[in-house]
Amino acid sequence: MPELAYVNGKILPISEAVVSIEDRGYQFADAIYEVIASDNGRLFCLDHHLERLERSMVALHYPPVSLAEIESAVRSLFDQAALPRAAVYIQISRGVAPRNHAYDNSTLRPQIVMTVRPIQEAPASKREKGISVISVIDNRWGRCDIKTVQLLPNAMAKQKALDCGADDAVFVTEDGIVREGTSSNLFIVSDGTLYTHPLTPEILPGITRRVVLDICRKLRYPVIEQFFTLEEAHAADEVFLTGTIAEVMPVVTIDDEPVGDGSVGDISRSLYEELKRRMRA
Ligand SMILES: Cc1ncc(COP(=O)(O)O)c(C=O)c1O
């Protein structure tokens, strides 16, 4: 039974899973989510994902939801699907109510839905040769640190990249500060030092970012959590994206200009290998 859904306590085939049209997630993007990857039959960093899920719910003042119940639902869904390499998607909305901007938490029951599916792997050629990205102006709201389903700017930016023949897009401010990718964080490497955007409301505190920072400490790679510009990214020796699905994805061109010598760098490669080793351990 490969692809399954979970809707408020029931596990069923994805094609039979439905939610109300008055779900606030559907009408107001009043919902938060997580994506957890597995490798070798083991969910990676489930604890970190649950921690961030709770942080998102607290930030949006959701009615209380039991994290223990969510964890056990994730585990039973994942076990039933029996997919060694899967992505579990969790979405929690504030609840269902007649459409009204204001909400009354005392009458709302958060709606919990999940899916489990095989991961669509990035083509091996992209991992070996790297990907191309375009830069787009960051037109998202001011709380990108909360993992909400308000992803239209991300979806439009990703599609624009594909329409331009690139693989992905990175959000950049009017002043040229690089924020993050459409579903990933971004690192650059200059003269042996790694730089990544600090944790501020303008970016998602990525779990993969966190793991990669930990790997850098173990491998004694110097890292600075500091703003950098598009110009600095262009001049870097290496650039890579980090994300649950992207893992560590080398970027070899930005806006059609090569990064470094245009090939995948040693640091990006070693971080990817160590991340995969941890995922499969
Ligand atoms: C905007 C954005 N930034 C960063 C990330 C990377 O986060 P994680 O490593 O937790 O997957 C994601 C993942 O979906 C994202 O959507």
Q: Which helix (H) or strand (E) holds 4?
A: strand 4-7
95-143 pLDDT per residue, tens? 999 999 999 999 999 999 999 999 999 999 999 999 999 999 999 999 9
Answer yes or no: do 83 and 176 share one domain: no
Provide the domain limits for residue 113. 4-118
Catalytically annotated residues = 147
Q: Please report the pLDDT score of residue 189 as a whole number.
A: 98
141-182 pLDDT per residue, tens? 999 999 999 999 999 999 999 999 999 999 999 999 999 999
Please check the confidence at residue 1 and state whether its pLDDT lies above 90. Answer: no
Q: How far apart are CA 92 and CA 6, in angstroms?
A: 11
Answer yes or no: do 137 and 253 share one domain: yes
End residue of a domain, out of 118, 143, 176: 118
Answer yes or no: do 160 and 270 share one domain: yes
173-221 pLDDT per residue, tens? 999 999 999 999 999 999 999 999 999 999 999 999 999 999 999 999 9
CATH classification of the domain holding 80: 3.30.470.10
In whole numbers, what is the pLDDT of the chain averaged over residues?
97
CATH classification of the domain holding 246: 3.20.10.10
CA 246 from centroid of its chain's CA atoms: 8
Answer yes or no: do 144 and 187 share one domain: yes
Look up residue 230 and give its amino acid. Answer: L
Nearest-CA residue for ligand 1 atom 3 is 184
Is residue 116 within 8 A of residue 83, CB to CB? The reply is yes
Is residue 185 in contact with ligand 1, taking CB distance under 6 Å?
yes
- Under DSSP, is residue 268 helix (H, G, I), strand (E, B) or coil? helix
Distance 242 CA to ligand 1 centre (A): 8
Answer yes or no: do 242 and 189 share one domain: yes
Is residue 110 in contact with ligand 1, taking CB distance under 6 Å?
no
Percentage of the chain modeled with pLDDT above 70: 100
